[in-house]
A = this chain, B = another copy of it.
Amino acid sequence: MLKIGILNITSYSGMELMRILTNHPEVEVMQVTGRSQAGKTLGEVFPFYNGKLKITESLQEDVDLIFSALPHKASAEIIGQYVNNDIPVIDFSADFRLPIDIYENIYDVKHPYPSLINKFIYGLPEKNKEEIKSSKFIANPGCFPTCATIPLLPLENINISNIIVDAKTGISGAGRSQNINHSFSEISDNISAYSIKGHRHEPEIENNINKNVYLTTQLSSITRGIFSTIYFQSEDKIDIENYKHHFDGMPFANVYSEPPRVKEVRGTNNCNIFIQELPKKSNINNYRIISVIDNLVKGAAGQAVQNMNIMFSFDETLGLNNMALYP
């Protein structure tokens, strides 16, 4: 049994990780941290957890793998020491996802451990599976970049342009935060755009696919899920059958012949995809993709477990093979 430690369990992605690992046959969660709630049992803070774990302030080193659900900067500050001591880490934050100049520019902070960035592999298994296999340190991708990058991977070598990612997200992506704008009264029966001057995930997507992208992030009146409508143009026609075959052997990326609905992936690690050539109205071809994920699973905790499975040579789908909770 792999001994697991979780940093910052008291976040939605932290508890989602707990939910998934509870049913994973090869691991045992040994330690969980959460500064403001340290000293309490996990069940006192989250009554839907039945186990015995207690929340501590920091992590002892006798674990085989650390998941960090800390926010950016705070994560690097704390996991630096574990990385230096060669303890495997999967980091949910943005701290090790990007080249340092892009990172420091868009997050507007000084990176606490720049020398460690090169040790980390960007953990999007649909793109980097081989590198993940041989790595001990994983930068778990952002939720929007996961949902936008996967369906664009088959187009890597095609000259597509004018890429627009119109993304709608559930409010759980904003975390367990005290924010009047995230209250039920404000979100219910509402839709709003945010980070309108440029969301931090836009450069992450561009870095992934090596193309320019405009990303619009919009809060929808749902709890879980990202629904991305992606538009692009191409001089040459896209071969849709080829496109589908790109995902052969990737258990969580599925192309459907009807547009997926976001609830169909709720609680799962799936990225469901629909691609369509639009009726021709000019001398260029227009395409539309719809892709959906659960932001807390494939967009965070589930992808982290998928990365762990690959790193530790478990079956890639272990602990992640459930059907959606629907309705």
Interface positions of A (Cβ within 8 A of B): 12, 15, 18-19, 22-23, 46-50, 161-162, 164, 166, 168, 170-172, 176-180, 182-193, 196, 198, 212, 214, 216, 218, 220-225, 227, 229, 231, 233, 254, 256, 258-268, 272, 274, 276, 278-279, 281-282, 286, 288, 290, 292, 321-327
A172-B185, A227-B218, A321-B23 known; A326+B191 contact, CB < 8 A: no
A282 to B163, CA, bound (A): 12
| A325 partner residues in chain B, CB cutoff 8 A | 19, 266-267, 325
Which of B183, B191, B260, B276 is in CB contact (< 8 Å) with A168?
A: B191
Contact yes or no, A222 B221, CB < 8 A: yes
Q: Is the CB of A262 within 8 A of B192?
A: yes
The complex places the Cα of A173 from the Cα of B224 at a distance, in Å, of 22
A3 to B231, CA, bound (A): 46
Q: Collect the chain B residues with CB atoms within 8 Å of residue A256's CB.
A: 47
Report A89 CB to chain B, min CB distance, Å. Answer: 24
Contact of A48 among B15, B161, B278, B323 (CB under 8 A): B323
A31 to B276, CA, bound (A): 34
Query: Other CB < 8 Å A-B pairs besides A164-B231, A189-B222, A190-B225, 4 of them?
Result: A22-B321, A49-B323, A188-B327, A267-B267
- A326 & B177 in contact (Cβ 8 Å cutoff): no
How far does the alpha carbon of A292 sit from the alpha carbon of B292 in the complex, in Å? 24
Which of A176, A180, A196, A325: most chain B CB closer than 10 A?
A325
CB pair A47–B260 under 8 Å, yes or no, is yes
Residues from chain B with a CB closer than 8 A to the CB of A186 are: 184, 263, 327
Contacts A/B (CB < 8 Å), 12 sampled: A47-B258, A47-B272, A48-B263, A166-B229, A171-B185, A178-B178, A183-B183, A184-B186, A190-B225, A212-B282, A267-B267, A267-B325
Decide if A322 touches B23 in the complex (CB within 8 Å).
Answer: yes
- Which of chain B's residues has its CB closest to A164's CB? B231
Nearest-neighbour CB distance to chain B for A69, whole angstroms, equals 15
Contact A189-B263, Cβ < 8 Å, known A182-B183, A183-B177? yes
For A180, the chain B residues whose CB sits under 8 A away are: 176-178
Q: Within the complex, what minimum Cβ distance (angstroms) separates A287 from chain B?
A: 10
CB A175 to nearest CB in B, in angstroms, measures 9
Q: Which residue of B lies closest to A180 (CB)?
A: B178
Residues from chain B with Cβ under 8 Å of A276 in the complex: 196
Q: Does B12 contact A48, Cβ atoms closer than 8 Å?
A: no
Complex-state Cα separation, A177 to B225, whole angstroms: 25
List B contacts of A191 (CB < 8 A): 168, 220, 222, 225, 227, 261-262, 292
